Amino acid sequence: MKKPEAGQLAPSEPLVRVRGLAATAGPSILVDQVSFEVWAGQVTALVGASGSGKTTSALALLGEHGDRVVLRGSVEVDGEVVVDDDGPTEADVRGRVVAYMPQHPGSALNPARRIGAGLRELEKLHHPGRDVVPEALRAAQLPGDRKTLRRFPHQFSGGQRQRIALAQALTCRPRVLVLDEPSTGLDSITRLQLVGELRELAGEGLGILLLSHDLDLVRALAHHVVVLDAGQVVASGGSEVLPAGPELRVVHGSGRSAQPLLQATKLSARVRGQEPILREVDLSVLPGACLGVVGRSGSGKTTLARCLAGLHERYAGEITFDGKVLPVLRKRTAEQNRRVQYVWQEVRGSFDERRPVVDQVARTAERLRGFRPLEARDEAVAVLARLGVSAMVAARPPSRLSGGELQRAALARALLAEPDVLICDEITTALDEHGTGLVVELLQELKQQGTALVWISHDLGLVAAVADDLLVIDAGRIAEQGHPATVMSQPSSEVTRRLVRAARVGQDPPPPVPTTSSDTRSNLL
């Protein structure tokens, strides 16, 4: 196997050339006629809805494929043919040429090995005799001292683990870095840091293949964009080929004057034997209004929502609903139970794997509104259909629904109670733009009928658009509260300022990138 030296390639040649890539699994076609290129020092983005074939295409760069999937076409990486018409070739480009970062890199670290050992192992494998680890650590913005290297993965925070995985990939000194959905679950500040890191790496001459449905991120980074749909390239070019997000039709709250429907005073919550997670939070929601809640990851948003929903029982302070004290869920009356509903952040976990989704959704109407099973089912099917989930899909057990479909089913499950207060915890994370549009539309309609919403999200733009009132939480306290437009345009607290500025990634004007030292260091010992 002859490997051309890196310098031999003319700069005009792409690092990766994919031509007419096809992937089939039995009769089904996962990817068809996909072509794209990755250039040194540049970022190529593969975008497209979930299931459009991004991961399948990217793994082909390693010559890998899923169980019983057949690859065809041609993939050339750094001058080596990795896939030809007979499928993957003998060429081995793993690590040395192409480094792949999976979607949840945290779990990609061996729990049994110190991170230093893992890095040194890769160093010895790919670049024996050279000291590449410190460089990789620096690029991944990790300290390179002995103490850090002697720690085990579980001794790092989620964000740090992501960077360790990156450092591992960089230790291989690959020519091409493949990143699969690197921004899922990140708050806007962390996401902004990622953009900075990736820019720097590209600047050093690395070719980057970015797979994402986060269009803002793509806009901020990509030199070339390839749009996939159902396994086929539907557009390619610069960032101008990116689909524009649908306009959200937003109606702002009506019942300004009415009494607050849900109110919390001096709400503090804690987990057994730990620091309080929430400290003295006050909030109130009017009927027909929407309260947006934003904040960095781990700031306590979900905990707040669970307190309101009555699921988190260890809290101090008072929650009132419709003028009366609202107890914890176990002690609520059936009516209170029906009128306050909650949509889980972790949807997958909130469904019973063994029963069809539609049955589980319909159960709400049966138990809380006294419907008969058949009526309830019809109602469930109708609501799900409005959210874009067909009856056929909903008749399956949850494991066979996509994340986005399940998220909508969870919403439907709560809506079937016809609640007066609906608490939504990150209900659009797994949705593409179209799905988000459907959800927002339905909730706007309910709002007009007087339903109050508590809307938790990392997507500042979306929250600003739908909320009447915005709450910014930082480390369990309210950092700022006010009308969304005001908060967004004139943030008064530091967190808000940074969240807002960071959220403008990929939007014009390109934001300045203020990174305080606490962002990279805060989670270290």
Partner 1 sequence: MRAYAAQRAALAVLQLAVLSVLVFVLTSLLPGDAADMRFTETLTPEQVASLRAQLGLDQPAIERFGHWVGNVLSGDLGTSLISGGPVLDIVKASVGATLVLTIATLAVVVPVAVALGILMGTRENGRLDRTITSITLALSAIPDFVIAVVLVAVFSLKLGWLPATWVGGDLLASPVLLVLPVGVLLGRTVCLLSRQVRAGTINALHADYVVQARRLGVPRRRLLLRHVLPNAAVPGVQELARTGDTLLGGVLVVEAIFAIPGFATALVDGVETRDLPVVQGLTLVLAVAALVINLGADLVCNRLVPRSELLR
Partner 2 sequence: MRARTPVAVSLLLVLIPLLVAVFGPLIPVDAAPGMPYERGAGHPLGTDGLGRDVLELLLVGGRTALGMAIGAVAIAYLAGGLIGLVAASTRHRWLDELLIRPLDVLMPLPSLLVISVVAVGWRASAVAITLAVAAVNVPTVARLVRAAALDAASSPVVEALRMQRESWIGIHLGYVGRAVLGPVAADLGTRITLAVFLVASVNFLGLGLSPTAPDWAVSISRNREGLLLQPWAVLAPAILLVAFTLGFNLLADRLVHRTRRMAEVPR
Ligand X SMILES: Nc1ncnc2c1ncn2[C@@H]1O[C@H](COP(=O)(O)OP(=O)(O)OP(=O)(O)O)[C@@H](O)[C@H]1O
Task: Give the C-alpha separation, 517 to 500, whole Å.
Answer: 18
Taking the complex as a whole, the smallest distance from the CB of residue 369 to ligand X amounts, in Å, to 30
What burial class does residue 5 get, using C-beta atoms within 10 Å of its C-beta: 0-12 exposed, 13-18 middle, 19+ buried?
A: exposed
Which tokens is 31 given?
A: 């990817």
Place of tokens 């029982």: 313
Ramachandran angles phi, psi of 130, nearest 5°: -110, 150
Taking the complex as a whole, the smallest distance from the CB of residue 153 to partner 2 amounts, in Å, to 22
Which tokens is 118 given?
A: 């893992």
Taking the complex as a whole, the smallest distance from the CB of residue 408 to partner 2 amounts, in Å, to 15
Task: Give the C-alpha separation, 489 to 209, whole Å.
Answer: 34
What burial class does residue 221 get, using C-beta atoms within 10 Å of its C-beta: 0-12 exposed, 13-18 middle, 19+ buried?
A: buried
Q: Which of 418, 421, 456, 415 minimizes the C-alpha distance to 263?
A: 421
Q: Which is nearer to partner 2, 205 or 370 (CB)?
A: 370
Count of residues engaged in binding partner 2, rule: CB under 8 A: 27
**String of contacts with partner 1 for each residue 96-115, x by CB under 8 A:** x--xx-x-xx-xxxxxxx--
Task: Give the C-alpha separation, 149 to 155, whole Å.
Answer: 11
Q: Which is nearer to partner 1, 111 or 509 (CB)?
A: 111
Contact 475, 299 (CB under 8 A): yes
Residue 109 near which of ligand X, partner 1, partner 2, none (CB within 5-8 Å, type-dependent): partner 1
Within 318-337, which residues bind partner 2 (CB under 8 A)?
Answer: 329-330, 334, 337
Distance of CA 460 to the CA centre of its chain: 13
**String of contacts with partner 2 for each residue 399-418, x by CB under 8 A:** xx------------xx--x-
Which residues are near ligand X by CB under 6 A?
Answer: 25, 30, 48, 50-56, 66-69, 271, 274, 277, 295, 297-303, 345
Asked whether position 44 contacts partner 2 by CB under 8 A, the answer is no
Residue 367 near which of partner 2, partner 1, ligand X, none (CB within 5-8 Å, type-dependent): partner 2
Residue 112 near which of ligand X, partner 1, Mg ion, none (CB within 5-8 Å, type-dependent): partner 1
Residue type, 133: V
Within 345-384, which residues bind partner 2 (CB under 8 A)?
Answer: 346, 348-354, 363-364, 367-368
Q: Which is nearer to ligand X, 173 or 408 (CB)?
A: 408
Which residues have CB under 8 Å from 108's CB, separation 6+? 101, 102, 165
H, E, C per residue of 342-395: EECCCCHHHCCCCCCHHHHHHHHHHHHHCCCHHHHHHHHHHHHHHCCCCHHHHC
Residue 124 near which of ligand X, partner 2, partner 1, none (CB within 5-8 Å, type-dependent): none
Task: Give the C-alpha separation, 416 to 376, whole Å.
Answer: 9
Q: Which is nearer to ligand X, 232 or 444 (CB)?
A: 232
Asked whether position 273 contacts partner 2 by CB under 8 A, the answer is no
Q: Which is nearer to partner 1, 121 or 433 (CB)?
A: 121
Binding site residues, partner 1, CB under 8 A: 62, 64, 92, 94-96, 99-100, 102, 104-105, 107-113, 118, 121-122, 125-126, 152-154, 165, 168-169, 172
Binding site residues, partner 2, CB under 8 A: 309, 311, 329-330, 334, 337-338, 341-342, 344, 346, 348-354, 363-364, 367-368, 399-400, 413-414, 417
